[in-house]
A and B are shown apart, each in its own frame.
Chain A
Amino acid sequence: MAKVKMTVNGRQVGSECDDRTLLVHFIRENLGLTGTHVGCDTTQCGACVVHMDGRSVKSCSILAVQAAGSEIVTIEGLSSGGELHPVQAAFKANHGLQCGFCTPGMVMTSVDIIRRHGAQLDEATVRAELEGNICRCTGYHNIVKSVLAAAAEMGSAKEAAE
């Protein structure tokens, strides 16, 4: 057993867990944050993506103990005050989700894609970057649209702020 401490969605958390506990199970079972999902057992689907120290990671392929001391953001912590994050808002406006199961991972991955590429994103880049996230419902058409719309929106918001 290990005692693991980390910051999750801005709050210090600590919990006892089996050494072999994956970060995704720590988040879901120990912290009760069930927005992060498990869709596979081979690190292929991306349903489990969270941000660790500002970068998107598949939380099913990290042990909770490896994440000790880090700063984690899950889908529950992406937005605050009842307002959707621009990426969440773009998914809603563009019907980028159906059953919603891949959605938390898709959104967390997309935020990271936009962080790395900025407003200059094009369709081919979005499609290549989403390779590690599987959606069975949408055919990706509206997810790609959502990411491009969010990138444009966030880019112009940034320009306006500068």
Chain B
Amino acid sequence: MGLEGIGARVVRKEDKRFLTGKGRYTDDMTVPGMKYAFFVRSAHAHARIVSIDTSAAKDMPGIIDILGGKELQADGIGNLICGWMIHSKDGSPMKMGAWRPLAHETVRYVGDAIAIVVADSLAEARDAAEAVVVEYDVLPAVTQASRALEAGQPQIHPEASNNLIFDWQLGDADSTDAAVARAAHVTEMKIVNNRLSPNPMEPRATLGIYDEAEDHYTCYTTSQNPHVARLVMSAFYNVAPENKLRVIAPDVGGGFGSKIYIYPEEIVCLWASKKTGVPVKWTSDRTEAFLTDAHGRDHETTVKMAFDADHRIIGLKVDTIANIGAYMSLFSSATPTYLYATLLSGQYDIPAIHANVRAVYTNTAPVDAYRGAGRPEATYVMERTMETAARELGIAPAELRRKNFIRSFPHQTPVIMNYDAGDFEASLNAALAASDYAGFPARKAEAATRGMKRGIGMSCYIEACGIAPSAAVGSLGAGVGLWESAEVRVNAVGTIEVLTGSHSHGQGHETTFAQLIADRFGVSMDSVNIVHGDTDKVQMGMGTYGSRSGAVGMSAIVKALDKVEAKAKKIAAHLMEADESDIVIENGELKVAGTDKTLPWFQVALAAYTAHNLPSGMEPGLKETAFYDPSNFTFPAGCYICEVEVDPETGKTQIVQFVAADDFGNIINPMIVEGQVHGGIAQGIGQALLEAVHYDPANGQLITASYMDYAMPRADDLPSFQVSHQTTPCPSNPLGIKGCGEAGAIGSPPALINAITDAIGNNELNMPATPQKVWLAANAAH
């Protein structure tokens, strides 16, 4: 692998700028004449707007303008849409209501944007926003999805009667019902997956710049996928045609899904820049982030897992209600359907599965993909149920799983997915050994002498990454293809620029992608630059989410490298008068195999550009582009084991050990991969132990709107983690990569809740397992 090649723990190229305060995030950008925006937002969860009076506010100091939704609509700016069409089981298309970038008739959640105030300073914009008088006709609100379906509840969009967006199913109902009916044992559970706020530490921000002379727009934005932002703003929101709109996502401080979507603020700031003639910058504060960043999860599920007398699963029936919030965010329909129900086979050979999902409007912030997106919800259903079944059946949790593991590949599940490779037992065994599972009873007995209740729990997850084969997702309703693009530019002096459609917002692409080049050509990583995040530089791209940058983004780079290598070899063969097939690339040189003839890499590059002596008919230059469209999803999988001690006096849970054993296929940089796992586990533990978005059910006010009320995991809430890798290379892409970005968040919540319920001897426990809930559950058991 070499010091910098594939598999090496190379420290990151990008770190120096972040460590010295030289990172450039959107809010760090200033341009001449720039002004500041603040949004007037709905104070009510559901109301008709009677009037908006900006007259007093407009006279306040420093105010450039205050603009509202009527003007926006009159200028032809379109409504926000969901880009993935789902059909209900009766064949009808999903019922999407209108989402105006600035509401002027009805507001549907607290935080719904109503007007933009542009001023010389942020303080002045804020002051004036407070002076805008909005008269509301307040309507009743509903925040819980299952309630919103009941008769007599407020109707949120006229298009969706009873607030039902779709009633969708996957799998075979009849054979699943038959399996449940004839089962020797059925484990039945009601499972709630709590609503979360993604909370990247960098709040969303955008800077809209309209250039009147060129009739051209530039948008700096905190995006995981700037090209998708440009495409959507051009094709659907009518902001500007693509050639008149440049989107730049510079350094981005974390995303976790919440920065995939196009939000009203980007659209409105671009439009407002044209209206006011000044560049307009908006930066979210944390309260706005809690109010308006797309939330994650929020499922209510019932599940029946049917076993035969030999403890084999013969059927799985799942019924889920998914809260979509007040509007359908860009990929909101895909998360509780094709990213969720398709993973309900877990790691197990299950002959019959049926899932029913109802997606529902409520008067809450839009809900969309958050780290894991559908797969954590599926894993939580499967692994809570599996552990519960083991307890009911009186057999060891590991043995019940082992008995049901899929062991031969490829494996076609009854819910679309075709698992291409894996070794579930290897990860299970590694986790059992690393956690000294066998020694647990002794540790439990010791803890009991100190008055502590010790518990252990596991979770065997599988997920689908490498999103995704374009034709497959197209047939399932996606409005876009999910390939990736890359361009490899070898300069005349042999240095290399790689332009990628992937976007790095913490994942370390500047390092791992450069490792790939170093590995391939034997050049130093210092001579390689990774360019991303700018639609004027990179031709096209679909961005980073769904753990796709390795499996899809790097595969596109490999394809471009193949072409560069082929051309370089042709040139070298010509110059050294050798046969092309005899040329090998090693340590930065092109050699004729079996001879001492060699040419340094830079000389071949130079020859490509001087073009004095190229093979006849060859174009000058050494630059290639490629698009890679995956042939299948990839399937990272693994086993997590968590051990806890619960203090029965206080209900406080202490995580004493957390073991992760993951199969991510081949790994480019283990240091970075481990970092991804740590961060994912922390978010999973956050979900299981601490985090929950709460709305007041009476009026739809967001109760958890700051870090005083929403419990983020802190350093002293978490242990250090023990992580290891088992490797079955992915057969579906050239590097054998499966992806690692979401696994931690997917696998960890059920392991933790299984451990706590084991400790307290009561299986009735919902996330987050706060001390109060744990104390109540522990004491109810007696």
Interface residues of A, Cβ cutoff 8 Å to B: 18, 20, 28, 32-42, 44-45, 47, 74-76, 78-79, 84, 88, 91-93, 95, 97-104, 107, 123-124, 126-128, 130-131, 133-145
Give the docked Cα–Cα distance between A79 and B16 (Å): 11
Partner of B708, one of A42, A101, A104: A42
Partner of B671, one of A41, A95, A128, A134: A95
Give the docked Cα–Cα distance between A32 and B285 (Å): 20
Check if B720 sits within 8 Å of A141, measured CB to CB.
Answer: yes
Check if A39 sits within 8 Å of B706, measured CB to CB.
Answer: no
Check if A44 sits within 8 Å of B706, measured CB to CB.
Answer: yes
Give the docked Cα–Cα distance between A74 and B721 (Å): 32
Check if A35 sits within 8 Å of B707, measured CB to CB.
Answer: no
Partner of A47, one of B201, B287, B716: B201
B48 CB-CB contact with A under 8 Å: no
Partner of B285, one of A35, A41, A75: A41
Q: Which residues of A contact B403 (CB under 8 A)?
A: none
Check if A42 sits within 8 Å of B678, measured CB to CB.
Answer: no
Partner of A99, one of B17, B28, B505, B716: B505
Most buried by A among B17, B20, B25, B708: B20
- Decide if the interface of chain B is mainly helix, strand, loop or mixed: loop
Q: Which residues of A contact B714 (CB under 8 A)?
A: 130-131, 134, 140
Check if B19 sits within 8 Å of A92, measured CB to CB.
Answer: yes
Check if B20 sits within 8 Å of A136, measured CB to CB.
Answer: no
Contact digits for B237-278, partner A, Cβ 8 Å, 1 yes 0 no: 000000000000001111010000000000000000000000
Check if A75 sits within 8 Å of B202, measured CB to CB.
Answer: no
Query: Quick one: closest A residue to B198, CB to CB?
Result: A136
Q: Which residues of B contact A101 (CB under 8 A)?
A: 23, 25, 200-202, 253-254
Give the docked Cα–Cα distance between A39 and B672 (Å): 24
A15 smallest CB distance to B (angstroms): 14
Check if A131 sits within 8 Å of B22, measured CB to CB.
Answer: no
Contact digits for B651-692, partner A, Cβ 8 Å, 1 yes 0 no: 000000000000000000001101100111111000000000
A120 smallest CB distance to B (angstroms): 18
Most buried by B among A34, A78, A98, A99: A99
Give the docked Cα–Cα distance between A76 and B22 (Å): 8
Give the docked Cα–Cα distance between A28 and B459 (Å): 45
Q: Which residues of B contact A97 (CB under 8 A)?
A: 15, 18-19
Query: Given A135-B201, A136-B201: A44 and B707 within 8 A (CB)?
Result: yes
Give the docked Cα–Cα distance between A138 and B677 (Å): 9
The 9 closest A-B pairs by CB, nearest first: A35-B21, A100-B18, A101-B253, A139-B682, A99-B506, A44-B707, A98-B506, A75-B21, A139-B678
Query: Given A126-B715, A131-B715: A99 and B11 within 8 A (CB)?
Result: no
Check if A100 sits within 8 Å of B253, measured CB to CB.
Answer: yes
Q: Which residues of B contact A102 (CB under 8 A)?
A: 201, 253
Provide 10 A-B residue pairs closer than 8 Å at the C-beta atoms, listed in order of the A residue: A35-B23, A37-B201, A39-B203, A40-B285, A42-B707, A88-B20, A91-B15, A98-B506, A99-B505, A137-B201
Q: Which residues of A contact B682 (CB under 8 A)?
A: 138-141
A16 smallest CB distance to B (angstroms): 12
Query: Given A35-B23, A39-B202: A92 and B15 within 8 A (CB)?
Result: yes
Q: Which residues of B contact A144 (CB under 8 A)?
A: 715, 720
Q: Which residues of B contact A79 (CB under 8 A)?
A: 20
| Interface size, B (range) | 35 or more
Q: Which residues of B contact A32 (CB under 8 A)?
A: 30
B365 CB-CB contact with A under 8 Å: no
Check if B707 sits within 8 Å of A130, measured CB to CB.
Answer: no
Query: Given A34-B21, A139-B721: A95 and B506 within 8 A (CB)?
Result: no
Q: Which residues of A contact B121 (CB under 8 A)?
A: 18
Query: Quick one: closest B residue to A140, CB to CB?
Result: B715
Check if B15 sits within 8 Å of A134, measured CB to CB.
Answer: no
Check if B11 sits within 8 Å of A95, measured CB to CB.
Answer: yes
Give the docked Cα–Cα distance between A127 and B714 (Å): 8
A137 smallest CB distance to B (angstroms): 5
Query: Quick one: closest A residue to B15, CB to CB?
Result: A92
B184 smallest CB distance to A (angstroms): 41
Query: Quick one: closest A residue to B255, CB to CB?
Result: A99
Q: Which residues of B contact A45 (CB under 8 A)?
A: 201, 286, 707
Query: Given A41-B285, A101-B25: A35 and B20 within 8 A (CB)?
Result: yes
Check if B199 sits within 8 Å of A136, measured CB to CB.
Answer: yes
Check if A39 sits within 8 Å of B286, measured CB to CB.
Answer: yes
Give the docked Cα–Cα distance between A50 and B778 (Å): 44
Check if B675 sits within 8 Å of A95, measured CB to CB.
Answer: yes
B286 smallest CB distance to A (angstroms): 4
Contact digits for B184-216, partner A, Cβ 8 Å, 1 yes 0 no: 000000000000000111110000000000000
B712 CB-CB contact with A under 8 Å: yes
B724 smallest CB distance to A (angstroms): 14
Query: Given A33-B21, A102-B201, A126-B715: A95 and B679 within 8 A (CB)?
Result: no
Q: Which residues of A contact B22 (CB under 8 A)?
A: 35, 76
B537 CB-CB contact with A under 8 Å: no
Q: Which residues of A contact B234 (CB under 8 A)?
A: none
B693 smallest CB distance to A (angstroms): 15
Check if B21 sits within 8 Å of A138, measured CB to CB.
Answer: no
Q: Which residues of A contact B285 (CB under 8 A)?
A: 40-41
B718 CB-CB contact with A under 8 Å: yes
B12 CB-CB contact with A under 8 Å: yes
Q: Which residues of A contact B235 (CB under 8 A)?
A: none
Give the docked Cα–Cα distance between A98 and B678 (Å): 11
Check if B19 sits within 8 Å of A136, measured CB to CB.
Answer: no
A-B contact sample (10 more), CB < 8 A, given A41-B285, A134-B707, A139-B682? A38-B27, A40-B285, A75-B20, A92-B11, A92-B15, A98-B508, A100-B17, A127-B716, A134-B714, A137-B679
Most buried by B among A32, A88, A123, A137: A137
B391 smallest CB distance to A (angstroms): 29
Query: Given A41-B285, A92-B15, A92-B16: A98 and B679 within 8 A (CB)?
Result: yes
B470 CB-CB contact with A under 8 Å: no
Q: Which residues of A contact B283 (CB under 8 A)?
A: 38
Check if B679 sits within 8 Å of A91, measured CB to CB.
Answer: no
Query: Quick one: closest A residue to B252, CB to CB?
Result: A99
B610 smallest CB distance to A (angstroms): 36
Partner of B19, one of A44, A74, A88, A133: A88
B79 CB-CB contact with A under 8 Å: no
Give the docked Cα–Cα distance between A71 and B283 (Å): 29
Check if B286 sits within 8 Å of A138, measured CB to CB.
Answer: no
Give the docked Cα–Cα distance between A101 and B506 (Å): 9
Give the docked Cα–Cα distance between A32 and B29 (Å): 10
Give the docked Cα–Cα distance between A61 and B705 (Å): 19
Partner of B721, one of A47, A92, A95, A141: A141
Query: Quick one: closest B residue to A79, CB to CB?
Result: B20
Check if A98 sits within 8 Å of B202, measured CB to CB.
Answer: no
B352 smallest CB distance to A (angstroms): 38
Residues in B283-316 with C-beta less than 8 Å from chain A: 283, 285-287
A13 smallest CB distance to B (angstroms): 16
Give the docked Cα–Cα distance between A44 and B710 (Å): 11
Query: Quick one: closest A residue to B36, CB to CB?
Result: A29
Partner of A138, one of B16, B18, B675: B675
Give the docked Cα–Cα distance between A124 and B707 (Å): 23
Check if A99 sits within 8 Å of B201, measured CB to CB.
Answer: yes
B405 smallest CB distance to A (angstroms): 28
Query: Given A39-B201, A45-B707: A84 and B716 within 8 A (CB)?
Result: no
Check if A93 sits within 8 Å of B11, measured CB to CB.
Answer: yes
A152 smallest CB distance to B (angstroms): 16
Check if A34 sits within 8 Å of B675, measured CB to CB.
Answer: no
Give the docked Cα–Cα distance between A14 and B679 (Å): 41
Query: Given A127-B715, A131-B714, A136-B200: A142 and B678 within 8 A (CB)?
Result: yes
Check if B679 sits within 8 Å of A139, measured CB to CB.
Answer: yes
Q: Which residues of B contact A36 (CB under 8 A)?
A: 21
Give the docked Cα–Cα distance between A74 and B20 (Å): 9
Check if B286 sits within 8 Å of A40, measured CB to CB.
Answer: yes
Partner of A18, one of B16, B123, B680: B123
Check if A95 sits within 8 Å of B201, measured CB to CB.
Answer: no
B727 CB-CB contact with A under 8 Å: no
